[in-house]
Structure 1
Amino acid sequence: LSWALDGAAAPVAAVARLEATMPAAGRLDERTVNEPTQRPAGGPELCFDDVSFHYAAPSGGDGPEVLDHLDLVVPAGSSLAIVGQNGAGKTTLAKLLCRLYDPQQGAVEVDGVDLRDLDIGAWRARLAAVFQDFIRFELPLRDNVAPNGAPDDTVRAALADAGAGGLADLDTPLAKGYDGGTDLSGGQWQRVALARALCAVRLGAGVVLLDEPTAQLDVRGEAEIFSRLLAATRHCTTILISHRFSTIRQADRICVLEEGRVVELGTHGELMAAGGRYHTMFELQARRFATGAAADPDEEGLVFDVLT
């Protein structure tokens, strides 16, 4: 047995020595921290200044530009909806804002400060983000809404804001494998994820980022949830990525992305009057719903293919 253990230990030790000499791939740039001692009140101004970004190609080297000299400003305390066909760069923009990646060119700025100059932990505490593939914890409802802890009254208020006030007791495990546990439908889980973001806002987050978090809700349900969210986050800077125009028309401004650049920006009324890309997409989706076409989470590609 000893010879077998020695044989197994040798490659493990070799890998450990190798890892110690290898730089971490994708390590974020570490700069001098410029973070106020107190969290600023309200939502900040967000600015994407000449931002370009590409992912690594599977075969090595650089892949195609996903964001191409993108310029976009989101005024403090305002809401912005982002639309565009698959591959336009919407989710990549969201990932840069969360600082999961840094841009290869340009800068993402928060109130005029380069995001790379802010403490990453402090920044993420100011950001409430919900993606379509959000995490579902096999834990009590309380811990799914407030993973880092929050008063029960705050958790209940966040659930109510998300339209999930009567979903379950806070101590109920959200997994059937536990005593007294229960499972939720896809739409119910999405409301819990939104409650998680709204709880973070009640605890002081000033930026809300939603990337297709309500795809499993019907059109009316999503529009209702977004109305509730806007009311609960009036003081925040909010970015919503969605392909349902009944929802995004409620935002203060709407941005149309195409090939990593902003091609249209304005209010719903302004973009409809302009008769451009947004107008075409809106009318096409309206006709689909008018003829009884089903709202499908995978419908985005079908809606925007007419623009290519």
Structure 2
Amino acid sequence: MVELVGGVASAVVLFGFTWWAPLVLVAAWSATHWLLRESGVWRDRNTAEVRSAQRHADYAYQLAVEPAAAKELRLFGLAGWAVQRFTDRRRRLFELQYKATRLRERPMIWCLLIVAAANALVFWALGSAAADGRLELDRLVVFAQVAVGVSMIAFGGLNWVLDGAAAPVVAVQRLKPAMAPAGALGTGRRAESAGPTAGAAATDRAVRDPVGRGAVGIRIRDLTFSYPRSGRPVFDGLELTIPAGSSLAVVGQNGAGKTTLAKLLCRLYDPDAGSIEVDGADLRDLPVDGWRTRVAAVFQDFLRLELPLRDNVAPAGAPDADILAALADAGAGGLAELDTRLATGYEGGTELSGGQWQRVALARALCAVRQGAGLVLLDEPTAQLDVRGEAAIFDRILAATRDVTTILISHRFSTVRHADQICVLERGRVVELGSHDELMALGGRYHTMFGLQAQRFVAEVDEEGMSYDTL
């Protein structure tokens, strides 16, 4: 707007030379706005190609930045894939923008001719007046300057464009230091944000090779953990041993730390104190990417990709035989063809129910087991299925994961009782541990919860305060 006002003001001053000169220049420079109008409204060119490119770019962006998909994108090593997908889709959008910008070529020639002719006429008149002695040198300089200044009419608003381009750059520069503490988990060492003592200890330890294939044994020693910006500890001295190849069910009241335990095992966070040992090695000493290839997880807010069924089950790729076997183990055999896109917005796509999506998420974890994962984490994995369906599916999951270590978080005791051991968490500690029969005979917290059919322990929010529905 400043540029535009400056151009108009220059034209007003030029009236001091002659009445027709500012009118000629204003008309010439204003014509550029009309001649280049097509390239300025490229986004409004309501074509199927532009709409499709915008939709793909928006979906890829949401997939990359929305919190619901973050856990599984990191766990399955898909962060780079998500960023690349966004980059490709956004590049396509920019290509369409460039194509529309090319619409300027012919109008630009007309703009140059009109502007050149108008300026040549005005400056010829100024030169003639000065040569004839009708225009003194000081007035000649002023009128020549304002004649050039009229051009600002064409460039009014350029400062908005520069501001719009600069703002994202500044935002990204602020983002890097803000995300540094969380990004430290990607180095395979304990985050420096855990404190100076912990950071120094992590630096002293050498990063070990990833754990090999097969079931893993877990030992949790004196674990303490609080979420960032939260003064309430979720765990305070947690002790727990999970033998390799066994299945463990975790139950407890809301906020007891069930989901947090799964996140720590996925190494989405590091403990504040204590340790998680994997086959005798501190989890913080293992490369993050290497460890996450050994973990398969199904969270309550599991990932739903608007991609073919094949890519939903094996985002990182897997043989079709393993994908089909995983779908069968999850009770999703015959759900759709592997090339069918799971979204009705695409030609030939299909929409799944909540229960069907949950079986696809289970198949994703089971497929990862076939690719070498040794630890399976199931956080309310069948919450959208009825009780009978859940029990039947969990029996099949136990059969498919009998050679790996399985941890189940669930409030439905018809499922929990099938695990080798059951852990009752309360206020960040294990208060009971044993088989279903052992805990029932003990007559403690588990016995009480089982008798109440766990109605008091249906989670409405997780330990971070995020709401979800487990019914």
SS at match of 1:65: coil
User: Does 1:219 find its partner at 2:219?
Assistant: no
Instruction: Choose which of 200, 207, 212 in structure 2 pairs with 1:33.
Output: 207
CA distance in 1, matches of 2:164, 2:346: 37
Flag the 1:13–1:172 CA change in 2: closer, same or farther, 3 A. closer
User: Does 1:144 find its partner at 2:312?
Assistant: yes
AA aligned opposite 2:236? D
1:114 Cα offset (Å): 0.6
AA aligned opposite 1:154? D
SS at match of 2:368: helix
1:169 Cα offset (Å): 0.8
AA aligned opposite 2:207? V
- State the partner residue of 1:306: none
CA distance in 1, matches of 2:178, 2:227: 21
SS at match of 2:407: strand
Instruction: Choose which of 155, 160, 176 in structure 1 pairs with 2:328.
Output: 160
CA distance in 1, matches of 2:334, 2:170: 55
SS at match of 1:285: coil
CA distance in 1, matches of 2:380, 2:333: 22
Instruction: Choose which of 211, 219, 222 in structure 2 pairs with 1:50.
Output: 222
SS at match of 2:336: coil
Matches within 5 A, 1:1-308: 1-19=157-175, 24-26=180-182, 27-28=184-185, 29=190, 31=202, 32-36=206-210, 40-57=212-229, 62-285=230-453, 300=458
SS at match of 2:234: strand
Q: CA RMSD in A?
A: 2.0
Give the number of the structure whose residues are more often strand, by fraction. Answer: 1
SS at match of 1:156: helix
Higher relative contact order, chain-length normalized (CA < 8 Å, sep 6+): 1
1:301 Cα offset (Å): 5.2
* Deviation per residue, 1:5-37 (Å, 9 max, x gap): 33444544544554566671333326532015x
Flag the 1:253–1:16 CA change in 2: closer, same or farther, 3 A. closer
CA distance in 2, matches of 1:177, 1:13: 33
SS at match of 2:291: helix
SS at match of 1:44: coil
1:299 Cα offset (Å): 6.2
* Deviation per residue, 1:229-250 (Å, 9 max, x gap): 1111111010000000010100
AA aligned opposite 1:214? T
AA aligned opposite 1:53? F
CA distance in 2, matches of 1:194, 1:22: 34
How many residue pairs are counted as aligned between the two chains?
286
SS at match of 2:453: helix
CA distance in 2, matches of 1:209, 1:247: 15
2:218 touches 2:242 (CA, 8 Å); kept in 1? Answer: yes
* Deviation per residue, 1:121-168 (Å, 9 max, x gap): 010000011101000001111111010111111110000011111111
Flag the 1:21–1:71 CA change in 2: closer, same or farther, 3 A. closer
1:40 Cα offset (Å): 2.2
AA aligned opposite 2:161? L
SS at match of 2:232: strand
2:256 touches 2:425 (CA, 8 Å); kept in 1? Answer: yes
CA distance in 2, matches of 1:218, 1:20: 45
SS at match of 1:247: helix
TM-score scaled to structure 1, two decimals?
0.88
CA distance in 1, matches of 2:177, 2:440: 57
AA aligned opposite 1:248? V
CA distance in 1, matches of 2:437, 2:431: 16
Flag the 1:49–1:138 CA change in 2: closer, same or farther, 3 A. same
SS at match of 2:250: strand
CA distance in 2, matches of 1:301, 1:130: 16
CA distance in 2, matches of 1:272, 1:54: 32
Gaps of 5+ in 2: 1-156, 192-201, 461-471
| Amino-acid identity (%) | 66
AA aligned opposite 1:47? R
1:186 Cα offset (Å): 0.5
* Deviation per residue, 1:81-101 (Å, 9 max, x gap): 000011000011110000000
Flag the 1:9–1:137 CA change in 2: closer, same or farther, 3 A. closer
- State the partner residue of 1:294: none
AA aligned opposite 2:354? G
CA distance in 2, matches of 1:70, 1:245: 23
* Deviation per residue, 1:32-71 (Å, 9 max, x gap): 32015xx6232111111111101133xxxx4201111100
